[in-house]
């Protein structure tokens, strides 16, 4: 049984979450509830696999063994009812590296790519740094969660001749686990307008029952003909630093085109630690994950209660998956800079600024609750103090 309650000192480990912020904000004793990694040790089976490698002591180039493919295929079949063949799998050094390569492989400069607003900020960065046109479709808040505005998406597909949509499934920062029907409706629009879908499914395993993950591939007949699925075990098992990911490409033409760009960029050789961690996580991490999910849910419940009792003016989007909460601070009437300033310098707590997720993220913050509950409790107290 994993003890998720046990705090682990991360200061002084070159952690972005804990160490980088001290310089970033020129402030001491900050408590981080931001960037999406967890303050928990990785599953024991992953650590043992690394120990075995270190005991052997030779860290040469690594191949992708048959057992790795089997581990991935079995996981997807068991957990997502997705049938993946070995030849449909490509490896990348991170989901974002895969998406950036796909943007280069399937679009030209000035082509238009659509993303949601709000959505995980690097999507927009990849689009603009590659000189593609960025178009956003704002999500609608309905009954306390986000839904897609299909009318707006269709209008934008037509008006801007959109080539690609980058979808976040489940959605970061809203924690929405898109329903099969929603993905189906989106997919039919993409098919109608010839839009390729890059479905980022890195949060696929962090889903709370009774919500069910539907991969874009499985949402409609033939959807894998015009989509690529990007995923990884790094979010599921808290291995973000090993930078490793997989792309599922069922359409051979798309796969070859992506592979060609990957080779052109010489990105096809994958870090030894990434490959070992991935295989060990999929082979041995199931029990750890089964223990993690209720812990995250209890942290979400704790946070909701805290806000109801101490900060009822903050509107919270309760996630159906992920360990991220989207918080609306607009009732305080503070400008984004002032809100961040108060949290960081008065409360000494760091969240992700909502505005970085798109214009609709104004006066919002994203909170990461994947930490021991004592740390979360202290962080929430600091948020309350910042706003007092």
Ligand X SMILES: Cc1ncc(COP(=O)(O)O)c(C=O)c1O
Cβ closer to ligand X: 156 or 243?
A: 243
Cβ closer to ligand X: 165 or 202?
A: 202
DSSP 207: B
Binding window for ligand X (CB under 6 A); candidates: 78-86, 93-101, 131-139, 296-304:
93-101
User: CA-based angle 241:247:249, to the nearest 5?
Assistant: 180
List phi, psi (to 5°) of 231.
Answer: -150, 180
Cβ closer to ligand X: 101 or 172?
A: 172
Cβ closer to ligand X: 219 or 239?
A: 239
Secondary-structure percent of the chain, ordered helix, strand, coil, rounded to 5: 45, 15, 35
Cβ count near 23 (within 10 Å): 8
Q: Which of 32, 43, 94, 379 binds ligand X (CB under 6 A)?
A: 94
CB of residue 157 vs ligand X: minimum separation in angstroms? Answer: 22
CB of residue 270 vs ligand X: minimum separation in angstroms? Answer: 12
User: CA-based angle 319:320:324, to the nearest 5?
Assistant: 35
Q: Which of 172, 204, 214, 238 binds ligand X (CB under 6 A)?
A: 172
Nearest to 219 by CA among 81, 66, 21: 81
**Contact call for residue 168 and ligand X (CB under 6 A):** yes
Site for ligand X in 208-247 (CB under 6 A): 232, 234, 240, 243, 245
Q: Which of 33, 36, 164, 314 binds ligand X (CB under 6 A)?
A: 36
Which two three-digit tokens encode residue 116?
């949601």
**Contact call for residue 267 and ligand X (CB under 6 A):** no
- The C-alpha atoms of residue 138 and residue 149 are separated, in whole angstroms, by 7
Give the end-to-end CA distance of the chain in Å, rounded to a whole number: 39
Helix, strand, or coil here: 204? coil
Cβ closer to ligand X: 99 or 219?
A: 99
* Number of chain residues interacting with ligand X (CB under 6 A): 14
CB of residue 319 vs ligand X: minimum separation in angstroms? Answer: 12
Give the max Cα distance, the chain. Answer: 59
**Contact call for residue 321 and ligand X (CB under 6 A):** no
Site for ligand X in 339-368 (CB under 6 A): none
User: CA-based angle 92:8:370, to the nearest 5?
Assistant: 60
Kind plus residue range of the DSSP H or E element containing 77: helix 66-80
Q: In which region does residue 14 sit, left (phi positive, over 0), alpha (psi from -120 to 50) or beta (all else)?
A: left
Closest-by-Cβ residue to ligand X is: 94
Nearest to 37 by CA among 244, 176, 177, 236: 236
Q: Which of 95, 114, 165, 207 binds ligand X (CB under 6 A)?
A: 95
Cβ closer to ligand X: 94 or 321?
A: 94
Site for ligand X in 119-158 (CB under 6 A): 120
CB of residue 202 vs ligand X: minimum separation in angstroms? Answer: 4
- Positions in the binding site for ligand X (CB under 6 A): 36, 94-96, 120, 168, 172, 200, 202, 232, 234, 240, 243, 245
């Amino acid at each position: 049984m994993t003890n998720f309650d046990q705090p682990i000192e991360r200061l002084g480990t070159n952690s972005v979450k804990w160490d980088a912020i001290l310089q970033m904000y020129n402030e001491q004793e900050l408590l981080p509830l931001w960037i999406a990694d967890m303050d928990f040790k990785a599953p024991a089976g992953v650590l043992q696999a690394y120990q075995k490698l270190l005991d052997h002591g030779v860290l040469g180039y690594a191949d992708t063994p048959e057992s790795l493919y089997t581990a991935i295929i079995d996981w997807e079949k068991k957990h997502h009812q997705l049938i993946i063949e070995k030849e449909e799998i490509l490896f990348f050094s991170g989901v974002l590296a895969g998406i950036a390569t796909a943007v280069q492989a399937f679009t030209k400069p000035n082509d238009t790519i659509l993303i949601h607003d709000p959505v995980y900020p690097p999507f927009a960065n990849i689009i603009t740094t590659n000189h593609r046109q960025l178009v956003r479709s704002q999500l609608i808040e309905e009954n306390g969660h986000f839904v897609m505005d299909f009318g707006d998406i269709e209008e934008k597909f037509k008006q801007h001749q959109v080539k690609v949509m980058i979808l976040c499934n489940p959605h970061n920062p809203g924690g929405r686990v898109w329903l099969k029907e929603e993905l189906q409706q989106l997919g039919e629009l993409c098919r109608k307008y010839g839009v390729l879908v890059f479905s980022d499914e890195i949060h696929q395993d962090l889903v709370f029952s009774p919500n069910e993950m539907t991969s874009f591939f499985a949402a409609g007949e033939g959807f894998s003909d015009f989509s690529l699925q990007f995923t990884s075990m790094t979010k599921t098992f808290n291995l973000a630093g090993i930078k490793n990911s997989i792309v599922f490409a069922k359409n051979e033409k798309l796969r070859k085109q992506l592979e060609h760009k990957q080779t052109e960029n010489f990105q096809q050789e994958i870090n030894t630690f990434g490959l070992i961690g991935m295989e060990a996580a999929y082979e041995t991490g199931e029990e750890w994950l089964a223990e993690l999910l209720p812990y995250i849910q209890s942290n979400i419940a704790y946070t909701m209660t805290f806000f109801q009792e101490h900060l009822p003016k903050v509107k919270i989007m309760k996630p159906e998956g992920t360990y991220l909460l989207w918080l609306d601070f607009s009732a305080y009437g503070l400008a984004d800079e002032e809100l961040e300033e108060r949290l960081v310098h008065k409360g000494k707590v760091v969240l992700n600024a909502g505005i970085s997720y798109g214009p609709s993220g104004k006066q919002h913050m994203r909170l990461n609750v994947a930490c021991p509950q004592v740390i979360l409790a202290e962080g929430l107290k600091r948020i309350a103090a910042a706003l007092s």
